[in-house]
């Protein structure tokens, strides 16, 4: 796997950053993209290179179709291929459904769901030619329950849509040696939530503790491996049994 190339959206922080560094340790060339976190992106690229792997940080607004497609072409032009697309970009905001703005509503789909479609279309041609590829999406642990979410409705619907998109892509791409799977985190300590807020959340997790970045990277690592070649269209809960 040391000659493989990964493209990670939202790779400057949190789970995306952890995945980038984990793959770099295993010899992958890793390109990450960020929208506004230029300093963080540069630090991740530098950390990747210090591990002896090729690292690249690209500023890109993946909600823009042409920009997303151009970024994928840039990585392929730089390194000749994209073997794994890992979609970690997933911003959200909490707002009552009746108070949500049209702009806020559209932004949740534009940033969570649509980029996976744009980027998947952009990278699959090369994967099909090589008869090997991996696409990983991040949903959320209770998305398959189709429950009411009045404080983050658009974000939730986008994450439900990701599950449908992942399964549809898996069905289409399986004959070409490409797998497409979703990971659905519950409460994972990625550094974004205040410690006191995370501690309060732990009371709701059956396992009794929040997930770690290593919990997330280990699942991705497995899905990218040849050992996972027959896992396709799956939705893996990463939640300590929360949300099921």
Which residue, 171, 69, 61, 67, is CA-closest to 125?
Answer: 69
Q: pTM for the complete prediction?
A: 0.95
pLDDT in tens, 82-134: 999 999 998 999 999 999 999 999 999 999 999 999 999 999 999 999 999 99
Catalytic residue among 118, 156, 209, 230: 156
Which residue, 76, 56, 58, 173, is CA-closest to 126?
Answer: 76
186: pLDDT confidence band, cut at 50, 70 and 90?
very high
Q: In this predicted structure, what is the pLDDT of residue 196?
A: 82
Is 156 designated active site?
A: yes
All domains of the chain, ordered by start, with CATH? 5-238 (3.40.50.720)
pLDDT in tens, 25-74: 999 999 999 999 899 999 999 999 999 999 999 999 999 999 999 999 99
């Amino acid at each position: 796997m040391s000659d493989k190339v990964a493209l990670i959206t939202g790779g400057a922080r949190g789970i995306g950053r952890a995945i980038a560094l984990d793959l770099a340790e295993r010899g992958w060339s890793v390109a990450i993209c960020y929208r506004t976190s230029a300093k963080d992106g540069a630090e991740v690229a530098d950390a990747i290179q210090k591990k002896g792997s090729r690292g690249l940080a690209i500023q890109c607004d993946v909600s823009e179709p042409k920009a997303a497609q151009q970024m994928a072409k840039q990585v392929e032009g730089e390194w000749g291929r994209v073997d794994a697309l890992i979609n970690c970009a997933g911003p959200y905001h909490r707002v009552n459904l009746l108070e949500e703005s049209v702009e806020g509503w559209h932004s949740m789909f534009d940033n969570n769901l649509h980029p996976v479609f744009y980027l998947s279309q952009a990278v699959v041609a090369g994967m099909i030619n090589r008869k090997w590829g991996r696409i990983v999406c991040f949903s959320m642990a209770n998305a398959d329950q189709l429950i009411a979410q009045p404080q983050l409705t658009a974000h939730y619907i986008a994450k439900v849509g990701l599950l449908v998109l992942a399964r549809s892509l898996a069905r289409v791409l399986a004959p070409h040696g490409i797998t497409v799977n979703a990971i659905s985190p519950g409460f994972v300590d990625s550094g974004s939530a205040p410690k006191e807020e995370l501690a309060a959340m732990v009371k709701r997790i059956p396992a009794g503790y929040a997930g770690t970045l290593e919990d997330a990277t280990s699942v991705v690592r497995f899905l990218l491996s040849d050992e996972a070649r027959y896992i396709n269209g799956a939705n893996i809960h990463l939640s300590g049994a929360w949300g099921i």
